[in-house]
Each structure stands twice: as C-alpha cells, then as structure tokens.
Structure 1
Amino acid sequence: MRQFLPALALLAAPAFAHDAPPPAETPWLHDIGTAPSAARIEADVRKLVSFGTRHTLSSQTDPKRGIGAATAWIHDEFERISRECGGCLEVRYVKGTVQGEPRIPGPVEVVSVIAIQRGTADPNRYVIMSGDIDSRVSDVMNATADSPGANDNASGIAGTLEAARVLSRQRFPGSIVYAALSGEEQGLFGGKFLAQEAKKNGWRIEAVLNNDMIGNSAGLTGVVDNTTARVFAEGTRANETAEEARQRRFTGGEVDSPTRNLARYIDRMADYVPNLDVMMVYRLDRFGRGGHHRPFNDLGYPAVRVMETNENYDRQHQDLRTENGRVYGDTIEGVDFAYAAKLTALNTVSLAGMASAPPPPANVSIEGAVTADTTLKWTRAPAKQAPNLAGYKLYWRLTTEPQWTHSRWVGDVTEFTLKNTVIDNYFFGVAAVAKDGTESPVVFPGAAGSFGGY
C-alpha cells in the first residue's frame, strides 16, 4: 500500500502558511494496531463454544446451553468492559419478533446486544463493528444438535468484544457501536432490526464493519495465509433513485459508492497493522451468499464485510462428523487466534481513525467540463461537530486504478481548483483531516459518493 504525502509539503513556500498540513502519519494508531490480544480472543471463542449451540431457535431460557445463555453472557461481558472504563459504554438489547419466515416459522424473539461508546463532540455520528451470535449445522432448522460455531461466528463476536476492550480506553469525537447480532443464519434479522432502529432514530452512520469469520487462515485449497484479509464492498447504493442513476451514468461513481470508499479507507488503515494487507473485493458478499452488513446497505448506509481470505467449507454449516478420514464441523481446532487478532486490529484502527477524524465532507460537487482545470466544492462541518478539523485533502486517481494515487492538502477551505488537471481523465474525492492527521474516508462528488449530511 502507498503512503501519500500532502502535495503542499513539497513546495518551498506553501500558499496557505496558516493552514500547515497535519502529520502524514498518526503514531498512536500503531499502538491500536497491535493492541488486540490473541489470548483474550481465544478465551472468548472457547466460552462461546461452551454453550453447545447458539442456533437462533435454540433455548432462550436455559442458563447454560443455547442462544439465550450466550446472549446473556455477551451482555454481561460488555457490562464488565464498561465498568472498567468508568461506565463509558451504554449496553442494551435490540429485540424484534419474527414469524412466518422460511427459517423462522413460529414467533421467535431475535435478541441482539449493542454497546455504544458515545462521541465527545459528534455523538450522533456512528461507526459500527459487528459480529454474529448464532451458529448452525448442516440442517439450518436443527436447533438442538451441537453447533460450536467456533469460526462462524464466535471469532467475529470475540473480535468485537476485544475491540471494545481496546478502544474503550480512549475517548473519540464520534461514537462507536459494538454490536453482537443474532438471527444471521435464519435471515439477517438482527442486522435488519438494528438498521431499522438506526434509521428511525436518525443515526448518521459513517461505516459498518461486519466481521463474519475472521479466524481461519488455512483454506480448503491447502493455502495457508495469515497476512491478508478480504473486505467485500458493493458498488452503487441499493437505494439509489432513478434520477441519481441517470446522473451517475454521465459523471461516474459505479466504483465510488460510500461503501467502496470505506473499503479503500480500511485498505489504507491496514498499514498500521503489522504484516497485514487487504484484498478489496468489488462485490456485496461472496458469490450467492450474504451477511449482516447487507441490511445496512439496503438502507443506503456504507457497510462492508471483513473476513478471512481463505475459507474452509468443511468447517462451515456442517454436522460434526468424520467421513472417510475427512473431518467436518466448525470446531475450535480450526481457529487461528493470532490471525483473528490481526483482523480485529484492522477493525480497531479503522474505527479509531474514523471516530477521531472529522465527519466526511458533505455536498461534494465537481466541475471542469471543457477546461484544463478541475474544481471541487463541499460544505464544512459545523464547528461543534468537528472541533479538531484542520482542513481538507483532495484525492484523485486514474479511472482504472483501484486505490487513490494522488493527493493534495488544501487547508481549511470549502472549494479548490486543481490547475491543469483534466476532469475527464481522473476520479476525484475529498476527505476531512483532523489536527492529529486522522482522516475521514474519501467522498466522491455527487449523490453516488455521498456519506450523507451533517
């Protein structure tokens, strides 16, 4: 991955002497990128496996076995983490009743747990990390068989708990939500309920990082790789209007949705995690499959799936058994806890970077047709929401490049013209930059790239 120096740093006499660029690197993020503990993640995975099954239709009242016992333990663990940070987390359940669905025929209460770490300056701006509580075996309706779900998805829940331990030691301008979602295997219901609640309450969601299977480093193909992670990101927003689609046809944006630029942001933040790189996958999810980020995408929120690069399908959705010497089942032996800690760190640095940075610029527009110059304009965040704002940075790249390749610090302004940079040849965007150098994701101009308003 590339590190980009602000262009003005190369000039002998910057045009904005009063707007000196912030640091190009944020040293404290290196500490966050190594803070997650493989040992603590292992302990949490083992505890979740100990509940026997976490199937959504399993017992909600048995104190030792089933989804109810697992959910109660997660709630208690978030409460314990909150006590250690002086009550910095608001821990509560998010519930909804489901019936008449193919995988939930009778009325079942789907119960998730969230812990909210309120922002100090912009509490209604949220970045979310999630994992899935529930597990399953070969028959998706089998709620009684042992279903350890060690990697799918105790690893994601353990990573979410560990992120809360790491990040709750600090305070951030924006809010962070740690979410343990239920009902994923039966139809993504936990995510649907939380996304609907967020919409109803007017949450300004900047990012959702859904962690679904982050602990397997040995693929079914025989490849062993503990140095890469995949980030799945859809293209155009699911709730794009017909008029927005018409505009996008002429201005671009198919590969610059907020979700895609969130993926690019996570890719760059991997520089703070030792020996980890990101494979950006331009797809909502794995082929023909789904995850708990999708309900957020459905409502137009930026949301990605973070997961291992090499899957072992013998360990997914399988009855525990051995056939012809081949072992099936999602057991503890299939989890690489050091690798899960790396992917957890990828989340922690990304969440910390976004929650520390000012909100992404709003109302980004661009002009420059039939000229040699390109002008970008945007709206500055209210001072109350962005007390640490240093200014803005412009980014651009060739239209075939996956990652931003050029950047220029322009200071605390709301428009800037790039001279002799032809609009037709590049894609452009704007990011907000804090005084400590943390940045928001890049915002592509127009409705196609908008992260929303203030």
Structure 2
Amino acid sequence: MDKYQVLSKISRANLERDVKDLATRWPTRHTLSKHHPAIVAYLSGKFKALGYPPKRHVYEQAGKSLSNVIAQKPGGSGAPILLCAHFDSRQEDLHAPEAPAPGADDNATGVAVLFEVARVLKDTPLRVPLRFALFSGEEQNLWGSTAYAAECKQRGEKLTLVFNLDEVGYPDTEKHLFLDRDERGRPENNAASAKLITRLEWLARNVVKVPTRIDPAEASDYIPFEAQGYTITGLYEGEYRYPHYHKSTDTPDKVDFGYVKDMARLTVAFLLDYAR
C-alpha cells in the first residue's frame, strides 16, 4: 500500500471547524487573560476525544501558573519527534490581555493542523513516538516553549527533531509553503536542519505537489529548542505580509483553508517519510 495514502484522509472541513471554534469560542486566547484555564481544558479535551491522554505542563510566569498541553502517540524505541504549535493570541497591545484577539491565522491554523495530523495518524504505526505540544505564552517571548525545552534538556531527554507550525493560513500569490531552516549559531544544528529541508522540498514537489520557499527559522516556538541543541524545522506562510497580524480582524474569513490543508498534507507526508 502507498504509504502516503493516508493523506487523502486529511479533511478541510475539520481544519475549518477547528479554526472557527478556536477563533470564536473566546474573545481572546491571550495567555494572561481570564480565559486561559478554560482554553487549556478545551485543548486537553480535544486530545482526549482523539484518543490521546493529555498532560498539562505547568510553568510559572508573571506571578501565575500557566499551562502547555502535551500528548503523545506511542511508537518504536527511538527519540520522539515533537510537533508543536502555539495556541495563544494577542492584540497589538500585548499588555491588554482581555482585548479582542481571535487569532484565526495566528495561530488557530497551526493548532488545527496539529489536531488533524493527530487524527489521521492515530492508527498508523511509526518507528518513533510522535509527541504533540500546544504552547502558551508564545506571544510573550516564547514563555511556554522556553520552559518546556529547558525541562526536556534538564531531564536529558532526546528528541529526534522539533517541527513547528505557526501561521499557516495566509499564502503569497503563488501559494508557497515556507520551509523553516535553522540558520542560527550552531553549525551542527544547521546541517541537520538543512537535511530536513532537502527532504521536505522533495516531498512537497513529488508527493504533495505544492511550491515551496526556504525561510530562516526565527521568532517562534522551535527557537528555545534550538538553543538547547535540538534539531528544528517547521512550516510557515512566509514574511510578515498578513494585514490582520495581531489585530481584532484576524478572523476565520481571512484564512485560505485549501492552503491550510496543503500545510497539513506536507506535515503528514514528512512524518510518514521520516518516522515510518
């Protein structure tokens, strides 16, 4: 059987439903808003409904106990692949935690892709575990991912790689999927990331049939892992062209759901290729 056959199970309707639900259920998903506990409970419930026991990773910031949501698909004996996305949103004024911030593109799209990947790969054997992480505090200089990456390093935990999904719903004119390559200060990390990009490019061209461009990895939740020595990559919609970035107008009607589906298809193709 074609190992990529599962790509046909990726549902645009599911992606659209999850983005709309996340963007409309609360006025904001700001990490310091009063809605944070309810959002964490909701995300935990989504994992549970998909058949993954959720765990809350709690960390302290700004005098509060805040949470990331973690789940894992068992696999062989290798080090896990970490697939991550941030679930928080913000208005232009970061210090207005209750200001309307639907965050449809940034980053309900990444969360929706992560959940759809979890759904379609639920019963597909992989040679390494696949761990899912939904991070809070990304908009406050990567609070949640920094805390989690530090804990992984402190535990001596090996990760095969970290794959990040952040803003994956607003394409450029040619609908390129931007592939995030590590170009920071660790040569060994950069070389490993470049190999991942080469494979992603091949899969995009030959399996998913979508155009790609390469973008430097920066300013999102893979960066704390890179700083701890882990290999990173991810998908992104490109440069800051989105006119509704960090605004109350970042609503689901601005999202290109066919493009989001292509992001999900490439993510699944890569995971099948790399972990199977």
Unaligned runs of 5+ in 2: none
Give the C-alpha shift of residue 280 in structure 1: 1.9
Map residues 247-258 of structure 1 onto 2, 5 A cutoff.
257-258=191-192
Larger Rg: 1
> Which one has the bigger strand percentage?
1
**Is 2:218 aligned against 1:262?**
no
Q: In structure 1, the residue corresponding to 2:9 is in which secondary structure? A: coil
> Which one has the bigger helix percentage?
2
Question: Which segment drifts farther, 157-166 or 66-75?
Answer: 66-75
Structure 1 distance, partners of 2:118, 2:206, is 18
Structure 1 distance, partners of 2:130, 2:39, is 23
Residue matched to 1:344? 264
Map residues 108-127 of structure 1 onto 2, 5 A cutoff.
108-119=64-75, 121-122=76-77, 124-127=78-81
TM-score normalized by structure 2? 0.92
Structure 2 distance, partners of 1:113, 1:342, is 25
Counterpart selection for 2:56 from 79, 93, 105: 93
What is the letter of the counterpart of residue 73 of structure 2? Answer: Q
Residue matched to 1:277? 211
Give the C-alpha shift of residue 40 in structure 1: 0.1
- Structure with the bigger RCO (C-alpha within 8 Å, sep 6+) is 2
Map residues 43-82 of structure 1 onto 2, 5 A cutoff.
43-50=17-24, 51-59=26-34, 66-82=35-51
Residue matched to 1:313? 242
Question: Which segment drifts farther, 34-43 or 195-204?
Answer: 195-204
Give the C-alpha shift of residue 311 in structure 1: 4.7
1:54, 1:133 within 8 Å by CA — same for their partners in 2?
yes
What is the letter of the counterpart of residue 199 of structure 2? Answer: Y
Structure 2 distance, partners of 1:212, 1:68, is 22
The number of residues matched between the two structures is 275
Structure 2 distance, partners of 1:273, 1:155, is 22
Map residues 17-416 of structure 1 onto 2, 5 A cutoff.
27-29=2-4, 31-50=5-24, 51-59=26-34, 66-82=35-51, 89-99=52-62, 107-119=63-75, 121-122=76-77, 124-217=78-171, 219=172, 224-226=173-175, 228-235=176-183, 237-238=185-186, 257-271=191-205, 273-281=207-215, 283-285=216-218, 290-309=219-238, 311-318=240-247, 320=248, 329-356=249-276
1:237, 1:257 within 8 Å by CA — same for their partners in 2?
no
1:270, 1:278 within 8 Å by CA — same for their partners in 2?
yes
For each residue in 1:41-60, what CA deviation from the matched residue of structure 2 results, as whole angstroms up to 9, or x when unmatched?
1111111012110001101x
Unaligned runs of 5+ in 1: 1-25, 60-65, 83-88, 100-106, 241-252, 321-328, 357-454
Structure 2 distance, partners of 1:75, 1:273, is 32
Distance change in 2, residues 1:236/1:332 (3 Å): closer
